[in-house]
Structure 1
Amino acid sequence: MSHELFLIRHGQTEWSVNGRHTGRTDIPLTAAGENQARGAGLTLGTLRMGPALVLSSPRRRAVRTAELAGLVVDEVTEELAEWDYGDYEGITTPEIREAVPGWTIWTHPVPDGESADQVTTRADKLLERVRAALADREVILIGHGHFSRVLLARWIGLPATSGVHFGLDPAGVSVLGHERGEPQIQHLNIPPS
């Protein structure tokens, strides 16, 4: 039997409100983000069945989300870090488009940051580890918007760049599993309670 995989995006930060790319910068949750994280814990409580392996990004916005959601993190890992935005860290998409018309994280390079291929490799490595753990128990991953969208795409065998098609709000909960052996997105972006 394979258990379910739960993805939780961290709660709101000041930069998520104003659209600034937040990869390596370690900023805290807003008060609203803390409330969202608590709500994500309530939502998760209605979905979970048993013991879980809990992994978190090392950024404090993810670790704090886990804590407020009532989770005990088994491991903090860079494997769950957000896409490295390189020179675009802290900059909004409209600002980037002033120099690179039409730019998106999904379609264009990121100077001094991660490429889509590098993000794919990292996601696939993490999912290989997660799939092995799912044989014994549920797994909960607390991470970030873009990288979690990559995980969703890779879970169902799509290219990382297909993550553009999935929306994830702060503290949204997604559930991944299988139907008759085929990877499936069972629930996407459930809002916090």
Structure 2
Amino acid sequence: MASRYPELYILRHGETEWNVSGRMQGRLHSPLTEKGIAQAHTQQRILANVDLSAARIISSPQIRALHTALEIFGDAGHEINTDPSLREIDVGKWQGRMRAELSISGDPRMTVDGPLAFYEQAEGGEGFPALRQRCEAFLGALAGPAVLVTHGITSRMLRVVALNLPNEAMEDLPGGQGVVFHLKDGHHEVLK
């Protein structure tokens, strides 16, 4: 199945201190842990044998993603561009709050990265329809292959859009840190 989008390599940032403690990050900053830096180095090894000469490297400007991109590509002399469209979904008033103190209703829609409902129901948050619109506009503007360094929920939405799936498919997609999601011609593969 052909895709209207170019070949993509989508990476989630490495583990952060707030990932470990169960705190909602959204647009706030939390530094990478040693494990998070090691996960970035794993992604670097995964991509070492991939010809990226025609690909643009584009990172979320949020520090955890940009730090991950620098760990992967900084020493190789690749130009790293940033784009605010790759930021994590805004979780409004829930940013900085502990997940354990938040209340969600209905099906939590569990993923390896946590319940999607935290992002869908966040008070004053961006929500999935707006995130999808942001991701569609970003992907629609890409002129060629790209490596995207982003965040857990934004990564899921980028992949849903690139695969022409409904938002509900976010819960069925693989997630995690330290891997690379490769999308080409409508196919999705996890590189480990």
TM over 0.5: yes
Question: Would you say 1:23 and 2:8 are equivalent positions?
Answer: no
The RMSD of aligned alpha carbons is 2.2
1:158 corresponds in structure 2 to 165
CA contact (8 A) 2:69 2:80 kept: no
SS of residue matched to 2:184: strand
CA contact (8 A) 1:37 1:65 kept: yes
Q: Structure 2: how far apart are the matches of 1:9 and 1:94?
A: 23
Question: Would you say 1:80 and 2:80 are equivalent positions?
Answer: no
CA distance 1:73–1:168, shift in 2 (3 Å)? farther
1:91 corresponds in structure 2 to 97
Question: Could you tell me the TM-score, scaled by structure 2's length?
Answer: 0.83
Q: Structure 2: how far apart are the matches of 1:91 and 1:51?
A: 41
CA contact (8 A) 1:66 1:73 kept: no
CA contact (8 A) 1:7 1:141 kept: yes
Question: Would you say 1:60 and 2:63 are equivalent positions?
Answer: yes
Q: Structure 2: how far apart are the matches of 1:110 and 1:13?
A: 20
1:14 corresponds in structure 2 to 17
Deviations 1:134-169 (A, max 9, x none): 2xxx31000000110011111111123421212321
Equivalent runs, 1:140-179 vs 2, <5 Å: 140-178=147-185
Question: Would you say 1:127 and 2:139 are equivalent positions?
Answer: yes
SS of residue matched to 1:69: helix
Unaligned runs of 5+ in 1: none
Q: What one-letter code is carried by the residue in structure 1 that aligns with 2:164?
A: G
Q: Structure 2: how far apart are the matches of 1:105 and 1:113?
A: 13
Shift in Å, 1:57: 0.3
2:105 corresponds in structure 1 to 101
Task: Determine what percentage of the aligned residue pairs are the same residue.
Answer: 28
CA contact (8 A) 1:119 1:160 kept: no
Q: What one-letter code is carried by the residue in structure 2 that aligns with 1:83?
A: I
Q: What one-letter code is carried by the residue in structure 2 that aligns with 1:21?
A: M
Q: What one-letter code is carried by the residue in structure 1 that aligns with 2:183?
A: L
Q: Structure 1: how far apart are the matches of 2:173 and 2:97?
A: 22
